[in-house]
Chain A
Amino acid sequence: MADKVFTPHRLALQNLRRKPYRNLGLAALVGIFSAVLFGGSILNGQLSKGLESLSARLGADVLIVPYGYERVATAALLRGEPSTYYMRKEVLDSIRAVPGVAALTPQFFLASLIDSCCSEHVQIIGFDPESDFLLRPWMQNIITRLGDDEIVVGSKIITSVGDRLFFFGKTYRVAAKMAPTGMGLDTSVFMPLETLYALIRGNPYLPKLLENPHFLQKLDPPEAYISSVAVKVDPGTSPKAVGNAIMLAHAVEYNLDLVIAENIVAETARRLHGLAVSVYWVAAGIWLLAILVISLVFSVSASERKQEMSLYRLLGAQRSWVAGLLRWEAFSICLGGSLAGILVAFCVIFPFSTLIFDGLQLPHLGISGGSIAGYALLTLALSGLSGPLACANTVWSLTRFDVYSSLREAE
């Protein structure tokens, strides 16, 4: 130590070492604040990007599904929970005839295990290359060129373009991989309807599997069925009105339910907002608490340390120097605590983010390193600021205490 430079900052650190546990406790408080703010900001950032992606990529205005599957369909869309539900294909022509319907496209869902890549079921989505408008925006070229045994996979399916995936006894070539969307699409596998129907017909067990009472359906022949119809309404028409018109005309006949895309976005935005607000309120509360506690501890210890403070002054230190020393002490506690908190939040959030988001059940997307650094800097800045704020009253009381009498008290 003797050969190192002797600075107020170093002196502050040495002073902190006198009460290691107390100061670690104070730092931990700032650490909790930092972890909540930093972690909360990152989660919030990821969810906001998920929401952006959701509103940008929900190409449909209304989704028609079998009766009773509204929630399942929403969950499938947001989180890719594999789902299996079917209705007869004739519904397409009936819906097309409803006024206000501008375009529509069917999809067919099948849940499957793909042994080679995933430990859980993935959603296989069959789409109609001719009428599709849901997937086209971000895989337009591929969609129309897919061969009989070619598929497109979501970003979270662990495989690369050119790989072969094996399911239900057939091998498929991965022709393309989608960019992350933050939604259920990321864990789905896409193939043209015809390929999917052929898959079901060609597998001796699959029709049996689908006769499972759980599915309540016997898909015979499979091409007579679809799972959902995505509807685009005429410009200027309310999706809700068109949806209701479809329901009014055909709900009973085909046993239908509907999901309005706007509502999903609005509902997601509402939950997201609620989450962000509570995170920031909690962070603000801990911040104030930390400032209050540090401030109390500092003013108590300042009276214990009167003799030391007086000694600095006796040896010729300016008041500003003593104040600076106190500020360095408080700042070091806050900075150290904050760095630790950020590190902890980082180590918790990244490995466990899948778990966290599964719990939250909201769409999410990774955010850039730049924004993460930004959140870290913001957290550090607020924590750093809390140091000087917390010792403000102690510093102020320094300007009033009488050096001479505190020296005498010590004798």
Chain B
Amino acid sequence: MRLEAHHLTKSYRRGQTHFNAVANASFSLDDGAFVSLIGRSGSGKTTLLNMAIGLLSPDSGEILVDGNNLFSLEERQRSDFRNEKIGYIPQGRSLLGNLTALNNTRLPFHLKRRSGDSLQKARELFSQLGISHLENSYPMELSGGELRRVALARALINSPELILADEPTSDLDIDTAREIWELFSRLNAQGVAFLVATHDVELSHRGNAIWKMHSGRLIQEAG
């Protein structure tokens, strides 16, 4: 899958003035990419990611998925795109408190009619991510690192081609953060593309490209 963005701009009002949360950003992501998106708080990372998955419509510019304009698709097709092609790890806590870790992971599988066994798949992912012992724990019983792994398992359940992670390690200690990035690298080696937004400059070097955001502008440099 090839995900391209052309001249994305999104502006918001703050008081009397308009400002661009994302300004004229263009990029393209191919199969197997592993890109770190760094930038200070408020630089527009989350806004960019949300436009990339068709959740937030840009004021101008377009997103192309294998050459098709995401925003000229129907709403239900955009939902299917998110469900089938993308694994998304949102910023902050994003697990449902009344479901076990395992069922949180299975949820995206069941948002569409599918054949197959989500349970087996979720268990495989749990063992792959080293959290098999947490299957029946509830989110409030889990640590930040464990929550991130469960969210990663959830992002992987539908075998996406691209995973977007929004500051997946911002509230973790450095060792745990490294382990998470380690998992990203391993999965990337298995063919999953990654776009990871982060504050952490050191960890960002684990990707094979670093994109920088600054006041809504996207600057790409080779990794």
Contact = CB atoms under 8 A, between A and B. Distances in A.
A binds B: yes
Contact of A315 (B83, B97, B119): B83
Contacts of A315: 82-83, 88, 107-108, 111, 154
Nearest to B75: A319
Interface in B76-132: 76, 79-84, 86, 88, 90-92, 94, 96-100, 102-103, 106-112, 118-119
A316 B79 contact: yes
Given A14-B99, A308-B96, A316-B112, A6 B106 contact: yes
Nearest to B80: A316
B219 interface: no
B111 A2 contact: no
Contacts of B76: 318-320
Interface residues of B, number: 39
Given A316-B80, A319-B75, A2 B88 contact: no
Interface stretch (A229-237, A254-262, A360-368, A402-410): A402-410
A403 B106 CA distance: 21
B135 A314 contact: no
Contacts, number: 83
Interface of A: 1-3, 6-8, 11, 14-15, 17-18, 308, 311-321, 403-404, 407-408, 410-411
B83 A18 contact: no
B73 interface: no
A318 B100 CA distance: 23
Contact of A14 (B46, B83, B98): B98
The 3 closest A-B pairs by CB, nearest first: A316-B83, A316-B82, A317-B111
Contacts of A18: 97-98
Contacts of B80: 316, 318
Given A1-B103, A316-B79, A411 B98 contact: no
Contact of A314 (B82, B98, B99): B82
27 contacts: A1-B103, A1-B136, A2-B100, A2-B136, A3-B119, A6-B118, A6-B119, A11-B99, A11-B107, A15-B98, A17-B98, A18-B97, A311-B90, A311-B94, A311-B96, A313-B55, A314-B53, A314-B55, A314-B88, A316-B83, A316-B86, A316-B108, A317-B111, A318-B76, A318-B79, A407-B90, A408-B46
Contacts of B102: 2
Secondary structure at the A interface, as helix, strand, loop or mixed, is: helix
B22 to A, nearest CB: 13
Given A311-B90, A311-B94, A317 B106 contact: no
Given A6-B106, A18-B98, A313 B135 contact: no
B189 interface: no
A11 B96 CA distance: 11
B115 to A, nearest CB: 12
Nearest to B158: A316
B50 A404 contact: yes
Given A6-B103, A7-B110, A15-B98, A313 B119 contact: no
B174 interface: no
